[in-house]
Structure 1
Amino acid sequence: MRFLFVAFILLAPPPIKPWLMRTLLGARIGRHVRIGWFAAISAHHIAIGDESEIRALTVISCSGDVAIGRYSIISSFILVYGASDLIIGDHSYVGPQTLINCDERVRIGSYSALGARCMVYTHGSFFPYTEGYWVRFGPVTIGDSVWCAAGVFIHPGVTIGDNVFVNSRSVVTQDVASGEVLEGFPARAVTTMDRLKRSMTPRRRDAAARQILAHFVELELRRELRLHVQEHDGQATVQVRGRPYLLLCVPARGDAPAAGDLAGRRVIALVTRPDWRVPGHAHIYPLDLLTYRTPRSNDPIHNALRSFLMRYYGIQLEYSDLSK
């Protein structure tokens, strides 16, 4: 009977899939969870946190438990299977065409990512063990703030610590300490994460926000949407479906925009000013790059910029009411 329920959910329209999983499978599904076309999950217990997404043509079939945290994305064309558990934290990402074997438990922490076409195995065997060939079994643990770039292969029994980058096409055969950067076949440490980072002063963060906004205007608004955008003094104005928009940055220092300057336009703002409060204006959508918060909206430009921040700059924002 459970197989029939899962097959029905696989074929069902995406808007009703969360309800069907709660009703038919007893799953705990959070708010605003999205499950795409021809995607399905089968497990002993299923829990998916708020705002997470399982994209189209992904199948997760585990005899153990499946738990996915808040704001996590499981992309398309992914296969997860096995006799044990899949545990994924908050704000994590599994890229398209990834394969995860869960015959032993696989745990992925929060703010971690597997790029496209990664492979995670918890068992390794093909040649006969009775003829002297080795086999290997073991759970795989990936810590918090780990980025495995495209095509990384993780062997059974591997534990990767926190704050780690594994370069693309690397093969991870042994445990990885926290804070390392690895690459190669087999993967070896080449430097540390601390050496890759630069300290971010308020001035540098303001410059980063201006760069992001200019990139968004060029790539998304001009190239993708083919809109006519006017730029002046770090601000951009554009008409979308007859509605005037103003895109700007609210820097850490200097004058902040007042409500009177913004009247009559829908405003999208990248904010790097501490404790900034939205002026008394109903059509301002701030994206706060200090608290990583933004209000929920149906505005297409606001949502496009939020997705752009995550896709191109690794900035993940949670929803909240910033006017309070």
Structure 2
Amino acid sequence: MVDHFPGDARTNRERMLAGDLYIADDPENTRRAQRAVRLAAEYHRAAVEDEPSATPILADLLGHLGDDAFVKPPLFVDYGENISIGARTFVNYNLIALDVAPITIGSDCQIGPNVQLLTPTHPVEAGPRRDKLEAARPISIGDNVWLGGGVIVLPGVSIGDDTVVGAGAVVTKDLPAGVVAVGNPARVIRTIA
């Protein structure tokens, strides 16, 4: 067995949560990921049968669910526990939130369908078993942010309050508060008065 981290006694989960390189197939991470898949499926089924009964399941899946926040299923996460959704935020169908690192979504946000919030990164240097190594960087979305359908937010990005990101944009770097951004890569086209 290759020791990728000589002299580092931390578990892969501890390295992951610190934002350092880690081995993705850690047994504890696998257990937590399976829990997330189970809860996401339960949430979906409950939302179909009786929407109000689904909210406690979603609250159990996520690290934080603000008052009157709503997520239309299906929802796809790595762990769920590293996601915080603020009060009165609405998330449309098919959110993919790979929460290897924290994902924070503020209050009063509107998240379109098929949005992807992606925290994992992979090394590009050559080396043994590099395909097994990952790291992660958190994503932060401010209050009153609108993300159009199909927006992709890459690792380490922060989006300021009162910002609108147009449908299909790929957000590769931080966006300030109070702007409209579009394109791939997303670029600011105007400020919001």
Q: After TM superposition, is the score higher than 0.5?
A: yes
Contact 1:83–1:104, Cα closer than 8 Å, also in 2: no
- CA deviation after TM superposition for structure 1 residue 98, in Å: 1.5
Partner of residue 76, structure 1: 73
Give secondary structure in 2 for the equivalent of 1:90: coil
Q: Which amino acid aligns with 1:103?
A: V
- Aligned-partner Cα distance in 1 for 2:44–2:183: 43
Whether the 8 Å contact between 2:121 and 2:137 is mirrored in structure 1 is no
- Counterpart secondary structure, 1:10: helix
The answer as to whether partners of 2:43 and 2:73 remain within 8 angstroms in 1 is no
Structure number, greater radius of gyration: 1
Query: Is 1:109 matched with 2:128?
Result: no
Equivalent residue for 1:100? 97
Residue 35 of structure 1: which of 42, 46, 54 is its match? Answer: 54
> CA offset at residue 125 of structure 1?
2.2
- Does structure 1 retain, via aligned residues, the 8 Å contact 2:44–2:74? no
Could you tell me which residue of structure 2 aligns to residue 189 of structure 1? 188
Q: 2 CA distance for matches of 1:12 and 1:176?
A: 32
> Residue type of the partner of 1:179?
G
The total of aligned residue pairs comes to 154
Q: Distance in 1 between matches of 2:70 and 2:80?
A: 22
Comparing both chains, which one has the higher relative contact order based on Cα–Cα distances under 8 Å and sequence gaps of 6 or more? 2
Q: Is the 8 A contact 1:82 1:104 kept in 2?
A: no
TM-score by length of 1: 0.41
Contact 1:136 1:156 in 2 (8 A): no
Does 1:173 pair with 2:181? no
Cα distance in 1 for residues equivalent to 2:189 and 2:107: 24
Cα 1:179–1:128 shift into 2, 3 Å: same
After superposition, the Cα gap between the structure-2 partners of 1:66 and 1:129, relative to the gap in structure 1 and judged at 3 Å, is: farther
Deviation of the 1:126 alpha carbon: 7.2
Cα distance in 2 for residues equivalent to 1:11 and 1:140: 24
SS in 2 for 1:87: strand
Q: 1:162: which partner in 2?
A: 161
Q: In structure 2, what residue type is equivalent to 1:121?
A: L
2:26 corresponds in structure 1 to none
Q: How big is the shift at 1:33?
A: 4.3
Q: Pick closer, same or farther for the CA change 1:104–1:12 going to 2, 3 Å.
A: closer
Which residue of the partner structure matches residue 221 of structure 1? none
Unaligned runs of 5+ in 2: 1-31
Instruction: Tell me if structure 2 keeps the 8 A contact 1:170–1:185.
Output: yes
**Matched letter for residue 82 of structure 1:** Y
1:10 aligns with 2:29: no
Say what the alpha-carbon RMSD is for the aligned residues. 3.6
Q: Provide closer, same or farther for how the CA distance between residues 173 and 136 of structure 1 changes in structure 2, counting only shifts above 3 A.
A: farther
* Residue 73 of structure 1: how far off its partner (Å): 0.9
- Per the TM alignment, residue 12 of structure 1 is displaced from its structure 2 partner at its CA by 11
* Cα 1:13–1:158 shift into 2, 3 Å: closer
